[in-house]
């Protein structure tokens, strides 16, 4: 897997999603209270690892004062290890992905956010050459326009993962970079928060990518991607894309009915897209065709464009998106809550199906079907 700005291409668990699991930040509320397994617990082996880490940090220019401040009120997070080891999440179809990435709610919020920050976004487009709508779309996919920036201590998260060792070398580099950011004065240690994997701010930079690409666009002496003001974060995203091959004045791509060398069809029977070098620049942000299409399509919708013209085929269980929405609505109406009806059958929908099947004396497989839908009439 290509690793660039993030610890890994956006995973479901990385953004703490609930309900309809996807590879984009869900909304609408700002991050909820930190769950119990993302609170620090005593771990002697972790504490010993931290003591052993201090000399290595010192050797890379991290002062004793920075270490004391950074590790104050931090510690081992069992939930971080659990999430890191449990990433065999649902593999979403492009239809499911776009149902979330370009949902009516996200498009509506995106247009409102774009209107509020139009001057900033247009200034960034002029300076970096990256379409204002693309910058806004990445913001929308990464943190639901700033509403889900993450509330986990980055020092706790990266040190826990470095100690755990599965990707210890990688996360120790992230920890060192996070300490350098604190030492530089960009953010106090107590306010350096992010996802469980250490991705930070409005557009979810990992510490090493922050070091390489973050921008102080406001001119206040700090590259503040955590602030309620998203300016520095949006500028940092534009700078990242510019330095990773974005070409001014070229679209990311578009839906097409033709075939050819630059045409992709990620889901058999679904829409085709002609893509450009800027599509590949978006993939440097997250190495996923679905993500890049999600960014491009959401950008088009924020800019006033409509839904995709081509329909997706029925899923492997013979259900169309309309069927799946109807199933979710009927389950919820019968007391089996699916936590929304967007046509994306994630863990909550599967749980509701199992409960309904069990209530009817059926095998609780959690598998949707047209027969199941008809039984709920």
Give dist(CA 103, CA 298) in Å, integer: 9
pLDDT above 50: residue 6: no
pLDDT recorded at residue 14: 30
pLDDT recorded at residue 80: 97
Give dist(CA 20, CA 75) in Å, integer: 31
Average pLDDT estimate for 122-132: 98
Pairing of strands 263-264, 253-256: unpaired
Average pLDDT estimate for 226-248: 98
Give dist(CA 15, CA 197) in Å, integer: 9
pLDDT above 70: residue 1: no
Return the closest-CA partner of residue 343 out of 364, 312, 365: 312
**Rounded percentage of the chain residues whose pLDDT exceeds 90:** 87
Average pLDDT estimate for 194-218: 97
pLDDT tens track for 269-289: 999 999 999 999 999 999 999
pLDDT band at 24 (very low <50, low <70, confident <90, very high): low
pLDDT above 50: residue 2: no
Q: Is the pLDDT higher at 32 or at 76?
A: 76
Q: At 374, list the tokens.
A: 């008809």
Return the closest-CA partner of residue 151 out of 193, 201, 205, 197: 193
Is residue 274 within a helix (H) or strand (E), and if so which, with residue range?
A: strand 272-275
Q: Would you say the C-alpha torsion 280, 149, 180, 197 has a positive or negative sign?
A: negative
pLDDT above 60: residue 236: yes
**pTM tops 0.75:** yes
> Lowest mean pLDDT: which of 153-162, 253-262, 318-327?
253-262
pLDDT recorded at residue 26: 59
pLDDT recorded at residue 19: 25
Q: Average pLDDT of the chain?
A: 91
**Rounded percentage of the chain residues whose pLDDT exceeds 70:** 90
């Amino acid at each position: 897997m290509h690793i660039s700005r993030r610890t890994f291409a956006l995973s479901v668990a990385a953004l703490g999603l609930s309900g309809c699991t996807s590879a984009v930040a869900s909304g609408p509320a700002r991050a909820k209270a930190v769950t119990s397994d993302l609170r620090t617990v005593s771990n002697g082996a972790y504490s010993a690892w931290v003591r052993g880490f201090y000399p290595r940090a010192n050797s890379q220019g991290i002062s004793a004062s920075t270490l004391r401040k950074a590790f104050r009120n931090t510690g081992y997070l069992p939930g971080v290890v659990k999430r890191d080891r449990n990433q065999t999440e649902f593999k979403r179809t492009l239809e499911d992905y776009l149902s979330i990435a370009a949902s009516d709610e996200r498009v509506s919020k995106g247009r409102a956010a774009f209107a509020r920050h139009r001057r900033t976004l247009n200034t960034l487009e002029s300076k970096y050459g990256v379409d204002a709508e693309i910058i806004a779309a990445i913001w929308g996919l990464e943190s639901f326009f700033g509403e889900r920036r993450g509330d986990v201590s980055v020092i706790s998260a990266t040190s826990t993962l470095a100690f755990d060792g599965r990707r210890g070398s990688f996360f120790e580099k992230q920890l060192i970079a996070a300490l350098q950011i604190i030492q530089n004065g960009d953010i106090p240690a107590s306010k350096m928060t992010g996802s469980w994997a250490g991705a930070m701010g409005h557009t979810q930079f990992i510490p090493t990518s922050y070091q390489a690409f973050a921008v102080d666009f406001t001119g206040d002496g700090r590259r503040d991607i955590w602030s309620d003001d998203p300016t520095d974060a949006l500028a940092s995203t534009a700078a990242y894309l510019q330095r990773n091959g974005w070409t001014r004045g070229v679209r990311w791509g578009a839906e097409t009915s033709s075939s050819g060398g630059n045409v992709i069809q990620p889901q058999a029977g679904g829409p085709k897209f002609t893509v450009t070098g800027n599509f590949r620049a978006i993939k440097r942000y997250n190495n996923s065709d679905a993500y890049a299409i999600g960014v491009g399509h959401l950008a088009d919708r924020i800019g006033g464009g409509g839904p995709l013209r081509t329909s997706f085929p029925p899923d492997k269980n013979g259900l169309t998106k309309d069927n799946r929405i109807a199933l979710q609505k009927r389950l919820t109406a019968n007391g089996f809550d699916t936590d929304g009806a967007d046509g994306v059958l994630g863990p909550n929908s599967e749980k509701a199906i199992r409960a309904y099947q069990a209530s009817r004396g059926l095998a609780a497989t959690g598998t949707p079907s047209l027969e199941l839908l008809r039984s709920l009439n």
